[in-house]
Amino acid sequence: MKVDFLIVGAGFAGCTLAERIAVQLEKEVLLVEKRNHVGGNAYDYYNEDGILVQKYGPHIFHTNNKMVWDYLSQFTEWNNYVHRVLAKVKGKEVYLPINLDTMEKLFDRTFTPEELEDYFESRRVKVDEIKNSKDVVVSQVGEELYELFFKNYTKKQWGVYPDELDPQVTRRLPVRFNRDTRYFTDQYQGMPKHGYTKMFERMLDNRNIHILLNADYKEVVGETEYEKLIFTGPIDYFFNYKHGKLPYRSLDFKFETLSVERYQDAAVVNYPNDHDFTRITEFKHFYLQKHDKTTICYEYPKPEGDPYYPIPRAEYQEMYRKYEEEANKLNNVYFVGRLAEYRYLNMDQVVAGALELFNEV
């Protein structure tokens, strides 16, 4: 087969680039995907009970990037879903990120914003140098809330305690001195009205795009003529692990359909201290779907399996940099996306990176 572009991986990065190249450049693209579907980890589908679920755990779209929002809005309507997360601690369900409502319910007392600031100020641990994720948390909210919300959840999620992890892990979690219970504060947020998969299918509905599923690109690359290669898979796999295997945390998902309309009060409920799973997701919240049953998903982190989260430790970044140096030596080969860049990126960041690469290419 002869094409202009060979794109490896049909997630957000691969689909965005395939669409732009096919439409804007009117070039032919072969999109190779090892799974049996497009959409990457955002793939969703109707299960046997007719409930729309996400196969690889919760994916909520949010962004402040109008360019990205406008781009994706060509392929979907949005349902204006606003994400809220509850955590079960001390027998109570409280909102995350920590805010006035969280603290009042947790400690059975009222706070003004000023009183809450004073409360945190009196409990903050003075840290001369932020060296790890624990330092970030205790320097903001003190040891008690660190123990309640972060210590054991991080151990389940990453396999190590926060004092062994890069500071960036907990820098993603803000503290609020108001009653804003939204998990994200981005200007644009919601779920594709008919699901992510429908959105991806519309992106790829072009005669210049050829899709090959259930295929390892290494098995087809020798039989394909192409001018440029765009790679969105694991960068260490591309280079045959010559500098070692980059480690990831993986996940197991256990789905259960229940004969009730609603199981929990939010789409996602975190369990920082109890059980082996980190959270339970109930998908009907996302899609505002009416159904007399509901499907929930238990999420179990594990050390091996499909790559989900690059592990944020300095020695692994050093290993990645060796691969990056190799990548920079190649002509007409481009690396983009979470796995190719070994970075935790939100979906909007992946799309933005793909659009930037398109302009470069």
What confidence tens digit (pLDDT) does each residue in 324-337 have?
999 999 999 999 99
Q: Give the residue numbers spanning the domain of 326.
A: 5-38+204-246+311-360
Residues 323 and 227 in one domain: yes
Q: How far apart are CA 358 and CA 262, in angstroms?
A: 43
Specify if 13 maps to a domain.
Answer: yes
Specify if 176 maps to a domain.
Answer: no
Specify if 117 maps to a domain.
Answer: yes
Span 105-139, pLDDT tens digits? 999 999 999 999 999 999 999 999 999 999 999 99
Instruction: For the beta carbon of residue 138, count every other beta carbon within 10 angstroms.
Output: 24
Tokens (6 digits) for 69 = 């929002």
Mean pLDDT along residues 199-215: 98
Beta strands at 268-270 and 85-89: parallel, antiparallel or unpaired: parallel
For the cut 90, the answer to whether the pLDDT of residue 166 exceeds it is no
Specify if 30 maps to a domain.
Answer: yes
Specify if 260 maps to a domain.
Answer: yes
Specify if 140 maps to a domain.
Answer: yes
Q: Which amino acid is at 51?
A: I
Q: How far apart are CA 267 and CA 282, in angstroms?
A: 5
Whole-number percent of the chain with pLDDT over 70: 99
For the cut 90, the answer to whether the pLDDT of residue 313 exceeds it is no
Instruction: For the beta carbon of residue 327, count every other beta carbon within 10 angstroms.
Output: 17
Residues 152 and 163 in one domain: yes
Residues 25 and 148 in one domain: no
Residues 211 and 144 in one domain: no
Specify if 330 maps to a domain.
Answer: yes
Give the pLDDT score at 172. 59
Residues 54 and 20 in one domain: no
The DSSP output letter for 200 is: H
For the cut 90, the answer to whether the pLDDT of residue 173 exceeds it is no
More confident residue, 152 or 170: 152
Tokens (6 digits) for 197 = 């998969």
Say whether 72 sits in a helix, a strand or coil.
Answer: helix
Specify if 296 maps to a domain.
Answer: yes
Residues 187 and 255 in one domain: yes
Residues 271 and 340 in one domain: no
For the cut 90, the answer to whether the pLDDT of residue 312 exceeds it is no
Answer for the pair 251, 301: CB distance below 8 angstroms, yes or no. Answer: yes
Q: How far apart are CA 102 and CA 96, in angstroms?
A: 7
Residues 51 and 76 in one domain: yes
Mean pLDDT along residues 30-36: 98
For the cut 90, the answer to whether the pLDDT of residue 168 exceeds it is no
Give me the chain's average pLDDT, please: 95
Residues 134 and 236 in one domain: no
Q: How far apart are CA 15 and CA 12, in angstroms?
A: 5
pTM across the whole model: 0.94
Mean pLDDT along residues 24-28: 97
Residues 115 and 152 in one domain: yes
Residues 138 and 272 in one domain: no
Residues 350 and 238 in one domain: yes
Q: What is the CATH number of the domain that holds 217?
A: 3.40.50.720
First to last CA, the chain: 22
Enclosing H/E stretch for 348: helix 347-360
For the cut 90, the answer to whether the pLDDT of residue 171 exceeds it is no
Q: How many structural domains is the chain composed of?
A: 3
Lowest mean pLDDT among 25-29, 285-289, 308-312, 356-360: 308-312
Give the pLDDT score at 170. 73
